[in-house]
Structure 1
């Protein structure tokens, strides 16, 4: 394999290690800078809305919550008549879990990946790529790590968390949430309004 500077591709590939089963938040972290446009943590989404944004069924959502795979962090269900409320990060994780399951990753490795995602700052997630060889899940934070995993035969598929982030953000902009302190519904955004906002953001 070709080398870049004094570091070979094989050496760089070793930096993208499988996610640890314990201490998921360990390792070097970048400052927790929240990307522009991140939905407020004061907004929650009910189960059907979370399902629509994540592309899963309500049966999956309920099963994952009951088994502790992905539980709502805004509000759990306590008895009959109470509604679970999921936050933006919860829905992002739900969508990633769905993609990992669809590609054949084991439930054990998915649990490790979920714990790892939960342990990282919200600003870390947008620049992260999850790779899997079917046996392990890897975190890559640079283009070189992704390429070296693929060239080394370790990477079978990858999930760019930032791309999933944008998909969830776009879906939630058009769906109904509620403010956690007042219970008031959030305004829905017309797709044309969202496109205009993104253009304004890029122009700044």
Structure 2
């Protein structure tokens, strides 16, 4: 999947907690936390809202995390990745999972057609591509056996089980 193919629709209320997102994307929790706090890749289902709250990442969020990790692994700096994503957002690209990114190790390119890929390669630079569809299938396989959480599970939003128990104890003691 490079150009024109669309990705399947997903349940927007089902997500994955931080440790699961890390495992599926192949990153550390420290990276995940830093990228969320600095706005590089924020969880789209539920963000952190204080101590004890759990971020909830969508499948697409994890897909973007894995693409960022792949770019880092090939030598693109986090600053370059951040600049590319900021530029794409400024151009109105809201769903990063819908685009194809390429890089020569020094810059990141958005590819919108097969002609653009040919021009980059004929320019004499070595270019690698990240086929988002393939990464999609890898993330899908990684997440297949892992637990999910629902944003609308009836519990207080953003609190994990321990925080809910503490809140219940405080309410009972009051």
Shift of 1:135: 2.7
1: CA distance between counterparts of 2:113 and 2:43?
30
Contact 1:45 1:87 in 2 (8 A): yes
Q: Matches of 2:89 and 2:133 in 1, distance apart?
A: 13
Superposed, 1:137-156 pairs within 5 Å as 137-156=108-127
1:120 equivalent in alignment to 2:71? no
State whether residues 102 and 109 of structure 2, in contact with CA within 8 Å, keep that contact through their aligned partners in structure 1: yes
Whole-angstrom distance in 2 between the partners of 1:34 and 1:183 = 33
CA distance in 2, matches of 1:166, 1:112: 27
The answer to whether structure 1 residue 65 and structure 2 residue 32 are counterparts is: no
Deviation at 1:153, TM superposition (A): 2.1
CA, structure 1 residues 114+92, in 2 after alignment: closer, same or farther (shift >3 Å)? Answer: farther
Change (3 A) 1:99 1:170: same
Q: Which runs of 5+ in 2 are unaligned?
A: 156-174
CA RMSD of aligned residues (A): 2.6
Taking the aligned partners of 1:183 and 1:165, their CA distance within structure 2 comes to 30
- Pick the aligned partner of 2:7 from 35, 44, 47: 35
Instruction: Determine the structure 2 residue equivalent to 1:8.
Output: none
Match of 1:85 among 49, 52, 56: 56
Q: 1:39-54 alignment to 2 at 5 Å?
A: 39-54=10-25
TM-score between both structures, scaled by the size of structure 1: 0.64
Q: For structure 1, list consecutive stretches of 5 or more residues without a partner in the other structure.
A: 1-29, 185-204
CA distance in structure 2 between the aligned counterparts of 1:83 and 1:67, rounded to whole angstroms: 17
> How many pairs does the alignment contain?
150
Alpha-carbon spacing, 1:159–1:183, altered in 2? closer, same or farther (3 Å): farther
- The change in CA–CA distance for 1:149 and 1:34 in structure 2 (over 3 A counts) is closer
Q: Is the 8 A contact 1:93 1:114 kept in 2?
A: no
The equivalent of 1:157 in structure 2 is 128
Matched, 1:176 2:147: yes
Greater relative CO, 1 or 2 (CA 8 Å, sep 6+): 2
Partners of 1:48 and 1:117 in 2: CA distance = 27
CA distance change for structure 1 residues 154 and 143 in 2, over 3 Å: closer, same or farther? same
After superposition, what is the alpha-carbon deviation per residue over 1:81-113, rounded to whole angstroms, capped at 9, x for unaligned? 111111112111110111111111122220133
In 1: Cα distance, 2:133 partner to 2:114 partner: 13
Displacement of 1:133 after TM fit? 2.0
Name the counterpart of 2:164: none
